[in-house]
């Protein structure tokens, strides 16, 4: 039986690029480092990769006649062979695959160790009505995903939300506590909101490159889930959807334009800010602080280093100001992001209310910074604190200090959570055992958040080491291929 599959170079390269966004290079499970190659009875060839939580499937454009077959190939070996004009994969057994490629007129063959195809997890079945997608949704989703948090202690906020709670219009929303992105004018055919995880594949320009696609949602059931399926062109992307309720966020939007100062950035202002803001002092400090100074004459940005005596000022020509003078301190990175996204209108209420950058139905809210507050003077007595209501609600936007991480909407607390009551100054009653347990739990929760942040930093370092290893591995594969070619030369 001829179980040979030929894949042209023009199809293999984009396939491996996309699959590389899903396949882990250093997984503890060997099967997750393989590509599943499948040919159905109609001769259609599919390449599939997974990391258990996500599945990416690429359909090779041209059918390859032959019997149906299904086998695994190591991703690294397939990626190294993609430099040839075409490759041929010959399944010899469940544990070996012969790979043939051509560099010019010189053929190269190698036998690759493989794993049985049934060791790879099966593709989740996601059926139901498909929601048509367009380029407006694609762009809004990618922009929203850049605003998701990386803090694993807030799992809901690591997703972009397709919010359908407002019957008058649906939104694409995401936040990391420092910034909140929302885009409106959507109509989704879902009865409940959907949480889309922040996956590398969804940022890749090769997916939904033509702006069209379909989204299918499978709610959680006895089979598991929930799952999402995005189909566009030759690609099918299936991933686990998030679970939980996205926090209420609309109360952070400006209620009225009355009393707000509005600044519209023309092309000269945008070019000046994009080039000048990264060059201002304190760019590497916590929150990269800058101060916006808005007057009737125009706008300027200033920053000062910790040990500097004078401010560095950046004048912004081409900024049209309408409103009263105002000064506000903020992180420069979200402002730069807003400008890159084309959000060229800025509205400022005061120095402790989130700034709103918007354009054409898209809005990015930026939490301002504030200087550290001086320690409060000790009071002789303090009134007892009223217990918190048991009804959950989204907390207000916190105006952050430079020493603390800014926060915007957070997930609402669980209905059973209570806030401990602080005793009055004259109350000498020792704390109860229950109160001590609550205090201990609060301390443990704080430490767990710190561990989560440390794990995130460790993950960044591991990814950097992974890229270095990948570059070294490519060099070794190139040398091996050259040596094999030289061994076949006959004098």
Report how far apart, in Å, the C-alpha atoms of 109 and of each of 89, 97, 250, 473 are.
10, 11, 60, 19
Task: Count how many domains the chain has.
Answer: 3
The band of 87, judged by pLDDT with boundaries at 50, 70 and 90, is confident
Cβ 39 vs Cβ 127: under 8 Å:
no
pLDDT computed for residue 432 by the predictor:
65
pLDDT computed for residue 490 by the predictor:
62
The band of 379, judged by pLDDT with boundaries at 50, 70 and 90, is very low
Q: What is the pTM of this model?
A: 0.74
In the predicted model, what is the mean pLDDT of residues 39-64?
Answer: 93
Is 352 found in the same domain as 289? yes
Q: Which CATH number goes with the domain that contains 79?
A: 3.10.150.10
Model confidence pLDDT, tens digit, residues 164-196? 999 999 999 999 999 999 999 899 999 999 999
Is 192 found in the same domain as 176? yes
Residue 1 confidence (pLDDT) above 80 = no
User: Taking the CA atoms of the chain, what radius of gyration do you get in angstroms?
Assistant: 28
pLDDT computed for residue 39 by the predictor:
94
What integer best gives the mean pLDDT of the chain? Answer: 84
Is 234 found in the same domain as 150? yes
Is 234 found in the same domain as 189? yes
Q: Is residue 175 part of a domain?
A: yes
Domain boundary pick from 119, 143, 174: 119
Which of 23-27, 297-301, 390-394 is least confident? 390-394
Q: Is residue 437 part of a domain?
A: no
pLDDT computed for residue 382 by the predictor:
46
**How far is 128 from 33, CA to CA, in rounded Å?**
31
Is 328 found in the same domain as 255? yes
> What percent of the chain is predicted at pLDDT more than 70?
83
Contact residues for 103 (Cβ-Cβ < 8 A; gap 6+): 83, 84, 481, 485
Return the residue matching tokens 């690591």.
158
Q: Is residue 49 part of a domain?
A: yes
Is 186 found in the same domain as 235? yes
Residue 53 confidence (pLDDT) above 50 = yes
Contact residues for 256 (Cβ-Cβ < 8 A; gap 6+): none
The band of 134, judged by pLDDT with boundaries at 50, 70 and 90, is very high
Is 102 found in the same domain as 64? yes
In the predicted model, what is the mean pLDDT of residues 231-244?
Answer: 96
Q: Is residue 466 part of a domain?
A: no
Is 113 found in the same domain as 18? yes
The band of 440, judged by pLDDT with boundaries at 50, 70 and 90, is confident
Is 146 found in the same domain as 113? no
Domain boundary pick from 246, 274, 302: 246
Cβ 357 vs Cβ 181: under 8 Å:
no
Residue 249 confidence (pLDDT) above 90 = yes
Domain boundary pick from 119, 147, 181: 119
Q: Is residue 74 part of a domain?
A: yes
Is 153 found in the same domain as 66? no
Model confidence pLDDT, tens digit, residues 443-484? 777 777 777 777 877 877 787 778 778 777 777 777 777 777
pLDDT computed for residue 372 by the predictor:
63
Residue 376 confidence (pLDDT) above 70 = no
pLDDT computed for residue 62 by the predictor:
84
Expressed as residue numbers, the domain containing 62 is: 4-119
Q: Is residue 335 part of a domain?
A: yes
pLDDT computed for residue 465 by the predictor:
79
Q: Is residue 86 part of a domain?
A: yes
Residue 325 confidence (pLDDT) above 70 = yes
Q: Is the peptide bond preceding residue 80 cis, with omega within 30 degrees of 0?
A: no
Beta bridge partners of 357: 346, 364
Higher pLDDT, 344 or 390: 344
Model confidence pLDDT, tens digit, residues 110-132? 898 888 999 999 999 999 999 99
Higher pLDDT, 2 or 247: 247
CA-based nearest residue to 190, from 206, 208, 167: 167
Is 292 found in the same domain as 225? no
Residue 390 confidence (pLDDT) above 70 = no
In the predicted model, what is the mean pLDDT of residues 86-99?
Answer: 88
pLDDT computed for residue 429 by the predictor:
47
pLDDT computed for residue 153 by the predictor:
92
**How far is 457 from 369, CA to CA, in rounded Å?**
24
Q: Is residue 376 part of a domain?
A: no
pLDDT computed for residue 114 by the predictor:
86
Is 268 found in the same domain as 361? yes
The band of 434, judged by pLDDT with boundaries at 50, 70 and 90, is low
pLDDT computed for residue 291 by the predictor:
96
In the predicted model, what is the mean pLDDT of residues 268-295?
Answer: 95
pLDDT computed for residue 364 by the predictor:
97
pLDDT computed for residue 384 by the predictor:
47
């Amino acid at each position: 039986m001829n179980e040979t599959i030929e894949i042209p170079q023009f199809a293999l390269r984009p396939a491996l690029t996309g699959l590389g966004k899903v396949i882990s290079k250093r997984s503890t499970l060997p099967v997750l480092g393989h590509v599943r190659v499948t040919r159905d009875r109609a001769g259609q060839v599919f390449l599939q990769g997974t990391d258990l939580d996500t599945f990416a499937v690429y359909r090779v454009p041209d059918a390859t006649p032959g019997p149906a077959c299904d086998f695994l190939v190591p991703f690294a070996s397939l990626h190294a062979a993609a430099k040839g004009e075409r490759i041929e994969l010959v399944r010899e057994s469940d544990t070996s695959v012969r790979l043939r490629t051509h560099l010019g007129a010189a053929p190269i063959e190698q036998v690759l160790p493989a794993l049985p195809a049934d060791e790879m997890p099966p593709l989740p079945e996601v059926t139901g009505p498909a929601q048509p997608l367009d380029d407006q949704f694609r762009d809004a989703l990618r922009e929203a995903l850049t605003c998701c948090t990386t803090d694993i202690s807030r799992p809901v906020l690591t997703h972009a939300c397709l919010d359908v709670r407002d019957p008058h219009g649906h939104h694409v929303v995401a936040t990391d506590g420092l910034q909140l992105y929302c885009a409106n004018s959507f109509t989704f055919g879902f009865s409940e909101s959907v949480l889309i995880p922040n996956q590398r594949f969804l940022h890749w320009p090769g997916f939904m490159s033509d702006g069209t696609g379909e989204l299918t949602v499978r709610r959680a059931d006895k089979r598991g889930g929930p799952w999402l399926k995005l189909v566009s062109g030759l690609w099918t992307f299936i991933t686990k959807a998030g679970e939980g309720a996205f926090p209420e966020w609309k109360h952070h939007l400006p209620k009225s334009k009355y009393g707000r100062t509005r600044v519209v950035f023309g092309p000269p202002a945008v070019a000046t800010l994009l080039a000048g803001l990264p060059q201002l002092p304190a760019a590497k400090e916590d929150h990269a602080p800058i101060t916006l100074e808005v007057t009737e004459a125009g706008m300027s940005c200033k920053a000062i280093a910790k040990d500097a005596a004078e401010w560095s000022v950046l004048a912004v020509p081409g900024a049209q100001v309408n409103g009263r003078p105002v000064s506000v301190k903020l992180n420069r990175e979200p402002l730069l992001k807003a400008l890159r996204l084309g959000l060229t209108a800025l509205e400022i209420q005061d120095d402790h209310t989130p700034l709103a950058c918007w354009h054409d139905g898209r809005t990015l809210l930026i939490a301002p910074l504030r200087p550290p507050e001086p320690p409060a003077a000790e009071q002789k007595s303090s009134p007892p604190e009223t217990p918190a209501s048991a009804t959950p609600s989204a907390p207000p936007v916190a105006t952050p200090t430079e020493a603390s991480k800014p926060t915007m909407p957070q997930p609402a607390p669980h209905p059973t959570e209570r806030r401990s009551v602080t005793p009055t100054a004259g109350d000498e009653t020792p704390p109860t055992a229950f109160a001590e347990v609550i205090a201990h739990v609060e301390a443990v929760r704080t430490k767990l958040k710190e561990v989560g942040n440390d794990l995130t930093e460790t993950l960044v370092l591991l990814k950097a080491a992974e890229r270095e290893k990948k570059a070294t591995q490519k060099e070794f594969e190139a040398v091996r291929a050259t040596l094999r070619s030289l061994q076949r030369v006959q004098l």
